[in-house]
Amino acid sequence: MTEQDADDVDAETATEGGEGGDPGLDGAADGPDATTLDDIAEEPADPDDALRQILAGDVERHEDLPAVEPDEELAETVADADPEVVATELVVLRERVEHLRESVAEHEAEVEDLESRLARKQADFQNYKQRQSERMEEEKQRATEDLVTRLLDVRDNLARALDQDEGADIRGGVESTLRQLDDEFERENVSTIEPEPGELVDPQRHEVLMRVQSDQPEDTVADLHRTGYEMAGKVLRAAQVTVSDGAASADEAADDGE
């Protein structure tokens, strides 16, 4: 396009704008139908006009574009470039922007779906924990109920033994009831803790009442005062014992030496 042709186009455009036709480029930014980058990208009718509008600042910025200061070096590059190439690149950039918008929308929808699914999973897990807790409590109560039911017979036997006439020999009945109770303990995996004299003291299973003179070695069990019990390896009640101080054993050793 020659300089004369450009002047003719400008004059013709100005005349049409003054007669009520389409507004000219010079007033595009001020009128209601101001030219935007999208308009130029969609219909780059004249690359010279498109480039001139962009460089002159007569094109409205897209509402999604950030407000930034124009890059002088980039402006010089665009001014020296082929207008058709610039217009084509605008179209390509617009397509890329639209593609990115669609991609962002898809990712936002995916994130929303994942968050919704996560919330449902968390709610399901909380409900599962609540059900498990209730079930464990119910099973615990049932286990205790079963044990108490079996011990009722033991209590009945003890009550019948006490109902005997005074002077009656109830030893046999009591021994039978004790064996019955021990059988119930065994069913519950309960065992006795009954250390023998001379056995080493175990702080986890033995409760030391006092230290006494004994013929047993020092720091070993002298006597058992109360039986202990453990269940599945867990001590329910430690056995009460006295511990030898080794004095009697030392005296005997001295006497033997003499």
pLDDT digits (tens, 9 = 90+) for 88-123: 888 888 888 889 999 999 999 999 999 999 999 999
Kindly report, residue by residue over 131-153, the tens digit of the pLDDT: 999 999 888 878 788 888 888 98
pLDDT at 80: 74
Residue 103 lies in a domain: no
Report the side by side order of strands in the sheet with 190-193: 190-193, 228-231, 234-237
Number of folded domains that form the chain = 2
pLDDT at 57: 55
Q: Is 23 helix (H, G, I), strand (E, B) or coil?
A: coil
Whether 29 contacts 58, CB under 8 Å: yes
Its domain, for residue 242, covers 193-257
CATH code, domain with 227: 2.30.22.10
Q: Is 164 helix (H, G, I), strand (E, B) or coil?
A: coil
Give the Cα separation of 252 and 258 in Å (integer).
Answer: 10
- Tell how strand 239-244 and strand 206-212 pair up: parallel
Q: Looking at 40, 57, 81, which one is the last position of a domain?
A: 81
Give the Cα separation of 46 and 244 in Å (integer).
Answer: 113
Which band of pLDDT confidence, cut at 50, 70 and 90, is reported for residue 26?
A: very low
Q: Which helix (H) or strand (E) holds 208?
A: strand 206-212
Whether 90 contacts 38, CB under 8 Å: no
Residue 217 lies in a domain: yes
Q: Looking at 81, 111, 133, which one is the last position of a domain?
A: 81
Which band of pLDDT confidence, cut at 50, 70 and 90, is reported for residue 247?
A: confident
Which band of pLDDT confidence, cut at 50, 70 and 90, is reported for residue 258?
A: low
- Tell how strand 190-193 and strand 221-226 pair up: unpaired
Residue 98 lies in a domain: no
Whether 209 contacts 225, CB under 8 Å: yes
Q: pTM for the full model? A: 0.46
What radius of gyration do the chain's Cα atoms show? 50
pLDDT at 16: 44
Residue 226 lies in a domain: yes
Residue 215 lies in a domain: yes
- Higher pLDDT: 254 or 89? It is 89
Kindly report, residue by residue over 151-207, the tens digit of the pLDDT: 898 889 888 888 887 778 888 888 899 999 999 999 989 999 999 999 999 999 999
Residue 160 lies in a domain: no
Q: For residue 158, give the nearest of 144, 178, 188 by alpha carbon.
A: 178
Per-residue pLDDT for 257 more than 90? no
Which band of pLDDT confidence, cut at 50, 70 and 90, is reported for residue 18?
A: very low
Which band of pLDDT confidence, cut at 50, 70 and 90, is reported for residue 14?
A: very low
Q: Looking at 65, 81, 97, which one is the last position of a domain?
A: 81
Residue 218 lies in a domain: yes
User: How many angstroms separate the first and last alpha carbons of the chain?
Assistant: 138
Residue 139 lies in a domain: no
Supply the mean pLDDT for the chain: 76
